[in-house]
Structure 1
Amino acid sequence: MNQFKFLAMFLASTLAGAQTTMVGTPQLRESGAPSEVAAPASLNSPARITTTTGSKSKFSANTEGGVGQGTDSALSNRAINPFGTLKTNVRVDSQRTDQDSAEGFERRVTSKEIENSAGTFGDPSRYMQMLPGVVSDNDQRNDFLVRGGNPSENLFIIDNIEVPSINQLALSDTTGGFVSMIDNAAIQYMTLHTDAYDSKFDQRLSSIVEISTRPEALVSSHSTLEMGLAGAGGSITRPWGREGSLFISARHSVLQWMTNDIGLNGVPVYKNGLVRADSRIDDKNNWWGLSLTGIDSIKIRPSATDTFETNPFDITYRGWRNVTGVNWQHIFSARSFGVLSLANSQQSQYVLQIDQLQSNATIYDEDTSDGITTVKYDWTSEINKRITWETGVRAAIDRMNYLVKQPIGLQNPYSEDPRPMNATLTDRKFATANSAEYSQATFHLPLEAKVVVGQRLTHWALGGHTEWTPKLLFSAPVAGRLVHVGYAEYVQAPPSLYLLTFNNQQTLKPIRARHVTVGVKVVDATRLGITVEAYQKRYSDYPVASDYPQLSLANIADTFGQAFLMFPMTSRGSGLARGVEGSIESKPVSRLLLTATITYSRNWFSGLDGILRRGNFDLPLVANVGANWRLGRGTSFTMRYSVASGRPYTPDNLPLSFAQNRDVYDLTRINAVRAATYSRLDFRLSHSYVFDRRALTWHAGLVNALGTTNFYSNQWRPRCPTCGVLEQGQMPLLPDAGIQYSF
């Protein structure tokens, strides 16, 4: 196999400037507020905020380029600038801790960590695969699975704007792709929420990923140009408006100018752009917004004469997606504020699949467009020094224009019948609505204990479903160590494309997951941090195939580049995922940072027959070890070593498979076989030359430096009836290199 087969995978301080006196390194942020919300200093929080301006308990927005003057209110950090950095005259007497969070242990990373990490190509989603409890379906792509859940169970939020997908060459109702649309230079930080995350979020069953692009200080004019295998592009940052900023970035793929085949029997072509702006209106009002666009296409043309070719389908794909949104924040008083958000997202895709083995017959033809316009309002108030109240509403209009043809059906590996099945035609164009309300209260108790209680009520007009979900979190120091225990329920509608085919709209309902989480910060020292968490997720009402009793939608990750298979479904599936996660961060010397994460987890899902079987993503042991070594004089070296249990898979029923010259699964051994252990070593070396106010940076490294062959799946070779299956691997040994010029 050509080593370039997977080059497509490349398609990819708070209070700064304020007049402050600091003890420790504050991170004034409230988990559970939108990603840029500065954190309220609660009465029992070790981070005590006191004013140095002599002002009364009153705020005026955005003084000194931020949004406020000082106050003695415990809500001050959050109320003044909930979606950006507080620029006010305050004194921080000690460091903000995890006890200021309204959920369990969140995981927050900066753009610099993403940019410098080995093996991620600067892709935010690929970096997520390194965190505890997170695995990838296939390291060829950047989708990630959180705590045993499907990739579609994750929601992206950028600057309080919901984004269906941040990736290029991503199909509807999926979150993975080849490369992120958002330039890493735009990201200030990224936060993964998994532990009893807040009721305010439009719910997903596994996680919320928040991305903040708003600068944490006044910006100066600067620009960046860069080029690598992931593409060529650049960005511009300028001061703009009244103490605001403007950011513009664009990128275009380059591989199509080097080759017409990167090993996928084709080459992806894509381009993307981001425009982001923010500004102060007056003493009590400010706004921020963004527009993110991606356009992409690929033609996959496998050889009709290659006996080793496993893909007999000519595939044509082209698509585009855009999300545009704006937020307006109004400060009512020293103890309350509100944020109004209006956003629109739209995506369109065309997919045509031709079967070479059936005289080039069309087996799948999709021309779909869907969009969602969302308006939401969030209000936060400090009732008193011990109680903070949050509430809000959300309403959305979903627009669907689906034309999906599966004219002759497809052979199904779950069926012993060789005839094509499930021919269908879906032609639907309509709009529907969904709405939600939520409320959440945080109670700060004596001895630094805390209780968070929340609820969310969601209604979908499509299907007429209404679901209520509660949340309860308790955290407190125990023997000097912070401990949290949480229970939360979340619901999510099935993917629209599956919902609208056959009679699925009448047989499918929202999926529910019940989370129980426990965590403890074992060590929280200057040079060493250790956390341990345990979780359990119980799924109910999961969509499963009506005609194939072993098949659950939970086991279908990303079908890009494969033959689509639409089939009748019903909400009678269940699932169970549980695990224990540990993370270690050590800084033995000032220039060296060592990290390690290890997860032991199991997950099982049932089909219509109700039998719990290993999930497709059941990887009992996953570990990542990383190092970041600043060598000095602008040089740094990073490495990562990943190891995981082998993937489970279902072997073929060989007599039937050879007789019918196709994959026919042995249904008595669903995911009963496990492949060899996965392992991968990546490293990256970078160096920056700084002169005047300009910088030139290059990086070079290797991905899968040891050339380890990692199993992904077995696929049948239909042009060689006596050959059987061919093992499909994941990322081979590949170079990683790029150059960046900042001025």
Structure 2
Amino acid sequence: MFPFLLIIVVLNFHILLKAHFFFKILLVVHITFTTYNSYAQSDTIWVESKYNLLLTDLIDQVEEGHSLRFFYKEEWLDGIKLKVDERTNLTALLEGVLPQYGLQVITYKNNWIIVNQPKREEGTENLVSDIPVDFIVGSYEQNLNRKSVELSGYARDGETGEVLTGVQVATEDLRKGGVSDVMGYYSFVLPAGKHLIKLEYLGYEPKEFWVDIRSSGIVDVELYKKTVELKEVTISAVADDANVKGIEAGKEVLSLESIKTLPTFLGEVDPVKTITALPGISAVGEGTAGFNVRGGEAGQNLLMQDGALLFSSSHLFGLVSAFNPDIVRDVVLYKGGGPAMYGGRVSSVLNVNLRNGNDTKYKINGGLGLISSRIVIEGPIIKNKTTFIAGGRVSYVNWLLKKVDNPDLNQSSATFHDVNVKVKHVINKSNVVSVSGYSSADRFKFVSDTTYNWKNKGLSVKWNHIYNKKLLSTLQLSGSKYLNEVFDKEGVGQFEYSSSISTLNAKFDFNYEHSANNKFDFGFHSLVYVFEPGELIPGDNNPNVISKNLDNERSIESAVYLSNELSLTPNLSLVYGARYSMYTLYGATTYAYDEGQPKSVDSIVDTLVYDNDEPVQTYNGIEPRLSLRLLLNSKNSLKLSYYRTIQYVHLISNTTALSPLDFWKSSGPSIRPAVGDQITVGYFRNMHDNVLEVSVEGYYKEVHNIVDYKDGTTILLNDKLEADLLQGFGRSYGIEFLFRKNKGLLTGWLAYTYSRSERLFKSAKYRENRINNGTYFPANYDTPHNLSLVCSYKISRRFSIGGNFTYATGRPITVPVSKFNYDGIPAVLNFSERNQFRIPDYHRLDLSVTLRSGFKKHKAIDGEWVFSIYNAYGRKNPYSVFFTQRGTAYKLSVLGSIFPSITYNFRI
């Protein structure tokens, strides 16, 4: 792998340095040969080169190979390049290119070609034309030689004023153009003169205008969303053919519009539930936080909101997303390590980007639902310069718990709230600063007894800077904290327990565009972790509980990375790079073990205590990344990717899904970091003008040093937990199928995944360090078959219906296989090997109906009613199966009823 990357890097820089010389030599030989042979056979001169070519070089070669002469002024043709993609007639080529530069070609006696400027009107510098222009940019006095000029500006949403990323701005023939960057800025070079400029952006009305550009200048543009679309519903926030032409395999980009296509649960639009309907992504079941990607654990997903780390993606144990949909711009998911700029998790990267506020006028939108309500306020602080957006949600879900068919749950209570605030300030066209903050809290009281609290806080400051049209940077400072609390302040059993993880993150990323076919990303990251594994404080009236406070741990994870996106040919492109990361643990308490015995509490021979600033253990490694795309044609492509990622922190949990009692632990002397390697191969095809898309992806993933615990281990407040943890090997593999319809009255997708996720814990030396006798066993979240069908049908301009069907194989469990009586104990259960049985399969149907307000152009409130049914046929899907002491089995179903809901969404 590394020799291959080295060769690519060397060749790439060699080409950059020597391109002009070699291209010119190759073109001289090639064009002379082809034009000579062509002319010898006929009067037609053919040009077959596929390289960029100076027009003056072409003329010189043609004159040498034929009895032709060209007459022109050198300044007319200075810098004009031709790009010949296929065998082209020379005359047709010149007649198609020269008019763009205010020139024309005239043949004389078949052998003489004269290049001349057309006549201009007296007293004006404009070409003779009756076409009115929308913009006049610059002046000819600033460009006396009529050289090529630069057109630049910002692309914005005409209604909200928010900058738009990915807008295509190009001349009518698409020969010249550019795409707006993350700041909405675009720029490209074109000849001086009149041009018809076209703008295109998915979900917005296309726009075109005439510009007379005389010298370099700025034209800011605005686009407006399609207000009525009878034959199209947007599923993706990217270009129609991005699935075929995009380079990275396993990448999903979802806009808010696509997220809204799924039926809601009790009126709540949920980005997390949307991604679990895609192939390769699953959730354990209702009432579970987190999600699993390609056989990975929930703790192996990197979660970010506007760049700030999050450690929980859900409220109410997974019933509601942690992300407020009204403030979300888009969701980007990489089913793997992703580009080299990401690291720290071995399964996936989920980045939720928040939108900016309206910079021209104030707006309010929100929704009133059966379990929660939400509101978002946005507008300008300084018009066209400083904006804000603030949103909040609050829940009232206790009535739902009363309907749950479980006496413990229907006597409990739950609530959550969250707040988002974001401010953006445009300093000038080269500098933009934004600040975003997030705070959330969940509270669950179990049967009027124990109370569970978990909280998320995050703050991010970002500075985008444009050095020039080729180089830009993003400096980001962020911090976050995830806190778990469990307490009982009533009765004689009073106590308080808490654990947390805090982070402070600094990132400095650069993007350098050497050319349209050669782009570099590089940067530096540093991340500080503070682990508080647990503290127990007994109540005043509870003498049976002893206070305990586990030692905190601190660590620093740093990384540098370099990535290059390179188009080798029009059909072959790749992204390759590497990330070097280093991790150091500071100030912890560790243990030394007897080397002649298996690691356990009994084999501890020494306790080692380190000061807060004293390094305990350092790990480092190189994480190569490679993605390759081969375009078979404009509608078909093959993709190949390889990712290596290193995860230095581990989620410790004895439950299948995330819970408030989970906590994170650092790698150290006895716990090594997890190392993941994943290979993906995919075929992508679009049909019927990108209306239909089909993809098939296969993957194989290995993870070394995954963490599991010995049978009977106590996780909570265990100061010697590392002695009870084992590290082993994990593998997962599968094939993912996706069929999606993107346009028309009926839209949606069908996703199917066959996958396996297995674990292996074997020790050649000690049987005590084995699980399942040292053989492979299914992971807790191994579900071989997953099927999702998502449909949305637009009946009329105001009325639409949607449906979502989900099926999954039941997850693995360990069950008692025999029992016997002993010393008066009614039954002693003998359990099977780990995860050798499964709970019943999971399936569910959701339905929704949306009624929008009238399409009156001017109205005070724009609203819609959403009626939904969750679990339409009342399936009692099992969350788990548990056993009494006598071995009697019981099935727990968190949501076993039909849940109708009604929500009113509004926009003022």
TM-score interval for Structure 1 and Structure 2 normalised by the shorter chain:
0.7 to 0.9
After superposition, the Cα gap between the structure-2 partners of 1:477 and 1:257, relative to the gap in structure 1 and judged at 3 Å, is: closer
Aligned partners of 1:522 and 1:706: how far apart in 2? Answer: 35
Query: What does residue 82 of structure 1 align with?
Result: 182
Query: What does residue 249 of structure 2 align with?
Result: 104
Aligned partners of 1:44 and 1:506: how far apart in 2? Answer: 60
Give the Å deviation of 1:145.
Answer: 0.7
- Aligned residue identity for 2:679: V
- Aligned residue identity for 1:123: D
Q: Is 2:490 the counterpart of 1:326?
A: no
**1:714 pairs with one of 870, 878, 881:** 881
Query: What does residue 403 of structure 1 align with?
Result: 534
Query: What does residue 514 of structure 2 align with?
Result: 383
**1:233 pairs with one of 366, 374, 377:** 374
Give the Å deviation of 1:439.
Answer: 0.8
Give the total of aligned pairs: 645
**Any conservation in 2 of the 1:57–1:71 contact (CA below 8 Å)?**
no
Aligned partners of 1:679 and 1:197: how far apart in 2? Answer: 31
Aligned partners of 2:304 and 2:511: how far apart in 1? Answer: 19
Query: What does residue 612 of structure 2 align with?
Result: none
Q: Tell which deviates more after alignment, 495-504 or 513-522.
A: 495-504
**2:801 pairs with one of 612, 623, 637:** 637
After superposition, the Cα gap between the structure-2 partners of 1:259 and 1:134, relative to the gap in structure 1 and judged at 3 Å, is: closer
Q: Is 2:293 the counterpart of 1:129?
A: no
After superposition, the Cα gap between the structure-2 partners of 1:728 and 1:110, relative to the gap in structure 1 and judged at 3 Å, is: same
Q: Tell which deviates more after alignment, 498-507 or 728-737.
A: 498-507
Aligned partners of 1:74 and 1:431: how far apart in 2? Answer: 54
Aligned partners of 2:676 and 2:274: how far apart in 1? Answer: 25
Q: Tell which deviates more after alignment, 486-495 or 427-436.
A: 427-436
Pairing of 1:95-244 with structure 2 (within 5 A): 97-98=242-243, 101-120=246-265, 121-168=268-315, 177-194=318-335, 197-215=338-356, 220-241=361-382, 242-244=384-386
After superposition, the Cα gap between the structure-2 partners of 1:74 and 1:320, relative to the gap in structure 1 and judged at 3 Å, is: farther
CA deviations over 1:230-265 (Å, ceiling 9, x no partner) = 312311121343345321111111134887786524
Give the Å deviation of 1:133.
Answer: 0.7
With normalisation by structure 2, the TM-score equals: 0.64
Aligned partners of 1:108 and 1:564: how far apart in 2? Answer: 42
After superposition, the Cα gap between the structure-2 partners of 1:196 and 1:521, relative to the gap in structure 1 and judged at 3 Å, is: farther
Q: Is 2:428 the counterpart of 1:282?
A: yes
Q: Which has the higher Rg, Structure 1 or Structure 2?
A: 2
SS in 1 for 2:781: coil
Give the Å deviation of 1:61.
Answer: 6.6
SS in 1 for 2:816: coil
CA deviations over 1:625-680 (Å, ceiling 9, x no partner) = 12101121411110011112222221124416998679956243x22223333211
**Any conservation in 1 of the 2:154–2:186 contact (CA below 8 Å)?**
no
**1:540 pairs with one of 690, 701, 704:** 704
**1:687 pairs with one of 837, 851, 856:** 851
- Aligned residue identity for 2:624: P
Query: What does residue 11 of structure 1 align with?
Result: none
Q: Tell which deviates more after alignment, 721-730 or 56-65.
A: 56-65
SS in 2 for 1:506: coil
Q: Is 2:666 the counterpart of 1:507?
A: no
**Any conservation in 1 of the 2:651–2:665 contact (CA below 8 Å)?**
no
Aligned partners of 2:421 and 2:720: how far apart in 1? Answer: 37
Q: Select the structure that is richer in helix.
A: 2
Query: What does residue 28 of structure 2 align with?
Result: none
**Any conservation in 2 of the 1:156–1:164 contact (CA below 8 Å)?**
yes
CA deviations over 1:412-449 (Å, ceiling 9, x no partner) = xxxxxxxxxxx995522354322111111111111420
Give the Å deviation of 1:95.
Answer: 6.5
- Aligned residue identity for 1:614: P
After superposition, the Cα gap between the structure-2 partners of 1:53 and 1:235, relative to the gap in structure 1 and judged at 3 Å, is: same
Aligned partners of 1:712 and 1:269: how far apart in 2? Answer: 21
Aligned partners of 1:449 and 1:681: how far apart in 2? Answer: 42
Give the Å deviation of 1:288.
Answer: 2.1
CA deviations over 1:592-636 (Å, ceiling 9, x no partner) = 113100111111112342421111222111111121011214111
Aligned partners of 1:144 and 1:541: how far apart in 2? Answer: 21
Q: Tell which deviates more after alignment, 700-709 or 314-323.
A: 314-323
SS in 2 for 1:333: coil
Which segments of 5 or more consecutive residues in structure 1 lack a partner in the other structure?
1-42, 170-175, 303-313, 408-422
Give the Å deviation of 1:143.
Answer: 2.1
Pairing of 1:185-584 with structure 2 (within 5 A): 185-194=326-335, 197-215=338-356, 220-241=361-382, 242-256=384-398, 263=406, 264=409, 265-301=411-447, 314-352=449-487, 366-405=497-536, 425-429=548-552, 431-462=554-585, 463-478=617-632, 481-495=636-650, 505-525=668-688, 526-545=690-709, 547-548=710-711, 568-570=723-725, 572-584=727-739
SS in 2 for 1:590: coil
CA RMSD of aligned residues (A): 4.1
Aligned partners of 1:406 and 1:504: how far apart in 2? Answer: 27
Give the Å deviation of 1:59.
Answer: 5.5
With normalisation by structure 1, the TM-score equals: 0.77
- Aligned residue identity for 2:727: R
Q: Tell which deviates more after alignment, 152-161 or 721-730.
A: 721-730
SS in 2 for 1:461: strand
**Any conservation in 1 of the 2:381–2:387 contact (CA below 8 Å)?**
yes
SS in 1 for 2:274: helix
**Any conservation in 1 of the 2:500–2:663 contact (CA below 8 Å)?**
no
CA deviations over 1:306-360 (Å, ceiling 9, x no partner) = xxxxxxxx53212322101111111111111001001111232212489x9xx98
After superposition, the Cα gap between the structure-2 partners of 1:149 and 1:275, relative to the gap in structure 1 and judged at 3 Å, is: same
- Aligned residue identity for 1:492: Q
Query: What does residue 21 of structure 1 align with?
Result: none
After superposition, the Cα gap between the structure-2 partners of 1:657 and 1:581, relative to the gap in structure 1 and judged at 3 Å, is: farther
Aligned partners of 1:431 and 1:516: how far apart in 2? Answer: 33
Aligned partners of 1:209 and 1:715: how far apart in 2? Answer: 33
Q: Tell which deviates more after alignment, 433-442 or 488-497.
A: 488-497
**Any conservation in 2 of the 1:507–1:571 contact (CA below 8 Å)?**
no
Give the Å deviation of 1:505.
Answer: 3.8
After superposition, the Cα gap between the structure-2 partners of 1:687 and 1:679, relative to the gap in structure 1 and judged at 3 Å, is: same
SS in 1 for 2:278: coil
Aligned partners of 1:638 and 1:606: how far apart in 2? Answer: 42
**Higher RCO (CA-CA < 8 Å; seq separation 6+):** 1
**Any conservation in 2 of the 1:52–1:90 contact (CA below 8 Å)?**
no
**Any conservation in 2 of the 1:678–1:710 contact (CA below 8 Å)?**
yes
Aligned partners of 1:741 and 1:134: how far apart in 2? Answer: 32
After superposition, the Cα gap between the structure-2 partners of 1:595 and 1:99, relative to the gap in structure 1 and judged at 3 Å, is: closer
Q: Tell which deviates more after alignment, 605-614 or 630-639.
A: 605-614
